[in-house]
Chain A
Amino acid sequence: MPQKNMLSLHVPEPEVRPGGTPDFSNVPIPKAGSVPRPEVNVDPRAIRDLAYSIIRVLNREGEAVGPWAGTLTDEELLEGLRHMMTLRAFDARMQMAQRQGKTSFYMQHMGEEAVSCAFRKALLPGDMNFPTYRQAGLLIAGGYPMVEMMNQIYSNERDPLKGRQLPVMYASKEHGFFSISGNLTTQYIQAVGWAMASAIRNDTKIAVGWVGDGATAESDFHAALVFASTYKAPVVLNIVNNQWAISTFQGIARGGSGTFAARGLGFGIPALRVDGNDYLAVHAVAKWATERARRNLGPTLIEHVTYRVGAHSTSDDPSAYRPKEESAAWPLGDPVLRLKNHLIVRGLWSEERHKQAEAEILDTVIAAQKEAESHGTLHAGGKPSARDMFEGVYAEMPPHLRRQRQQAGV
């Protein structure tokens, strides 16, 4: 009798679970400044290595080094630090507001502030982001009023979305921020379509798609890469790899592929990996990719390597599936701290000024919060009219909705 080979199913597991000691020793972190910076018109085949490395600018000493350094002025760096600190303060206040019952839900950015804040500064007016729910830095760094964001979170009488959307699902055409959907990855292919439209009309605007590591497993991710590749759409496709999709570690979505960035290579799309906690690196890579798109050289895929420090959302408790100390062990550190140290090393900043800025920012956020709360919170004060519930389903209200509105007595 020939011996039967019993098959067994492979189910990836993270290295460490709650109670274990966090260990990222198997995550190779190249030295800052060690990855070359190709010309934007490079043949994608010549830079396949970039999909497997990590572009980094800030070294351990807080110095900006290597060929990707130097894309930002001192003023821009100081502004960038302020944006990240603002987002962090905003997150903390809104997280608390949710705990106080002022809203039903919130999602933080803790640890990922550099990704959206730095990327935003590489965009021009008219460009369009197709964000996920974890890129509010695009709004903060883009100058969208914090009060408006809070009005949306509170679903109050000034909510720009009239109370129809779950908190953090912002939308602002003027600020290049496409309407957020709860359905993951749908916006990725839409970004490609928007970019195709811009190219069809011989416009100069570009689109930016955003997706998390977990959501790359959705079919829309594949469709987006096919379309971006086929039509050489002027789009930058970002993957924010924060290691976690709710409770699922990134290995479940990534499988046996080397990196998320490497997925672009099969489509002939240049793919870069960047230190997502390095404000300077994110900006430099964003600038490179956006320039490629603007010069009609086609799409770029960027994997931002970062770590989701906070819970997935206010409905999540990460201690149930990962060690509590894991974020502290994350080798790429804290984006705010790293930029702060860089500015201190450069003599542009100090601990004292940082503390002062923190206090100022907190005051600004609290003032915005007070103003927003004067227009109501989810369960108290002003709220959108029930009539608004029936508006906007169509450009013009059809007869059946008019009947239902009447029936609802509003």
Chain B
Amino acid sequence: MPRKTMIEAIRDAMDVSMGKDDNVVVFGEDVGYFGGVFRCTQGLQQKYGVTRCFDAPISELGIVGAAIGMAAYGLRPCVEVQFADYVYPAYDQIVSEAARIRYRSNGEFTCPMVIRMPTGGGIFGGQTHSQSPEALFTHVSGLKVVVPSNPHDAKGLLIASIEDPDPVIFLEPKRLYNGPFDGHHDRPVTPWSKHPLGEVPDGHYSTPLGKAVIRRQGADVTILAYGTMVYVAEAAAEETGIDAEIIDLRTLLPLDLDAIVASVKKTGRCVVVHEATLTSGFGAELAALVQQHCFYELEAPIARVTGWDTPYPHAQEWDYFPGPARVGQALRETMEA
């Protein structure tokens, strides 16, 4: 089976979707001729023409607002916000409009669209190229929020998102674009070509939204993770020797609660990890749900390992990023509690 990077898998997903459905259009800043600052749309304009894949003015609200109008018309726009850190000008359009059009019009109008945006840190991106704003979207009724962690899922989830009848926020951990990353920044990076999840089937397939997957079976503690933190969790489990069950959530909204509850009921312990800041982060929702649904099985307090409640710093990258040492520490504490 062909091996692809996450970038190639994402591009492949758009290629397949555009080939299958004329209503799929792709646009954003530098997305057209140049093929995107991360090369995710390379070649699409050449293949499908300038009216299917094109450059947009630097206006996130314009990109998302126009896409909403297109979706109302009947197209399936898959638009790009260059960095998740720059989605805020479009926040009104996403929250007040995209998320609510179906509800407020009782289905007269709908908004089948995808907003792709590179997310997450670990790349010395500083304050405005490292943020993980997923909790700002999981709080919004009417949105779906997806975070893939590998090329295989990235393609399948993106195709599923484009085909979904509702607006999807598709967060792409840019640290994973070229290879998995476990937080060991001092070791050489391995490319996706050496990872089994770099195997990406050709053609059309889709990975269902709302379904988590177990990345590592374990008996002692459940780690809830998504995006880059899946690999950090794997490293932490390996390094501590703790038999952790790692769940890659893949879709944050709607959430695969059944998979989470089944695992925590089995292990009796739970550690939630994400790059985003702690307070009111998505981990709070996960912890609350686990506490509510697994109260009698829990043998230790639910731990959260996250970014600190600060803006994402530059020089202090590895003091900020919740790496395997911090996750490992939380695992040990949870086992000892």
Contacts and interface: CB of A to CB of B under 8 A. Distances in A.
Given A226-B62, A395-B166, A197 B210 contact: no
Counting contact residues on chain B (CB < 8 A from A), the size range is: 35 or more
A130 to B, nearest CB: 7
A71 interface: no
Q: Which of B61, B105, B108 has the largest count of A CB atoms less than 10 A from its CB?
A: B105
B93 A186 contact: yes
A221 B104 CA distance: 22
Q: Which of B56, B59, B104 has the largest count of A CB atoms less than 10 A from its CB?
A: B104
A189 B65 contact: yes
Nearest to B58: A226
B110 interface: yes
B292 to A, nearest CB: 11
Contacts of B74: 197, 201
Contacts of B97: 181, 183, 186, 190
A34 interface: no
A178 interface: yes
A224 B142 CA distance: 24
A107 interface: no
A178 B75 CA distance: 16
Interface in A334-366: none
A196 B70 contact: yes
B128 interface: no
B104 A191 contact: no
A295 interface: no
A400 B254 contact: yes
Contacts of B22: 201
Contact of A179 (B73, B105, B166): B105
Counting contact residues on chain A (CB < 8 A from B), the size range is: 35 or more
A244 to B, nearest CB: 23
A331 interface: no
A172 to B, nearest CB: 6
A2 B107 CA distance: 68
A186 B89 CA distance: 12
Contacts of A182: 96
Contact of A227 (B59, B166, B210): B59
Given A186-B97, A220-B61, A171 B109 contact: yes
9 closest A-B pairs by beta carbon, nearest first, are A193-B69, A193-B66, A189-B65, A223-B62, A398-B254, A179-B105, A197-B73, A190-B69, A194-B69
10 contacts: A160-B108, A164-B106, A183-B96, A193-B72, A200-B52, A200-B70, A201-B73, A207-B69, A222-B59, A227-B66
